[in-house]
Amino acid sequence: CVLAPVRPFQRAWRRQHKERLCQAATLIQAVWRGSRQRSQYLRRRTSIKKIQALARGHSARRRCHSIREDRRKKEEEEARREEARRRAKEEAARLVREA
């Protein structure tokens, strides 16, 4: 029978074809998973950067507010001292006039 030698050849070809299909499917799956992982990573990294920027901005605004508040208190204290000096001078001048 002529078909007898063809069957082992055909069986081998089918096995090889099936193996190539499995390898192709595995490659497609690996590429897809890698692509999905990269996009997830990039999304997470972008989100983290946004959160960090918000936190840094908040911290900078708090620091700036604190610096302004300290400066304002210092200026008020200096104004009080200046007012006290002026009053002391006026008081001394009044005492000299009365004497």
More confident call, 11 vs 65: 65
Q: Is the pLDDT of residue 5 over 80?
A: no
Q: Is the pLDDT of residue 70 over 90?
A: yes
Provide, rounded to the nearest whole percent, the portion of the chain with pLDDT above 70: 94
> What pLDDT shows up at residue 9?
83
Going 31 to 33 to 36 to 42, the CA torsion angle's sign is negative
**Which pair of tokens denotes residue 36?**
């999905």
Query: Is the pTM here over 0.85, yes or no?
Result: no
Q: How far is CA 53 from CA 42, 49, 66, in A?
A: 16, 6, 20
> What pLDDT shows up at residue 87?
95
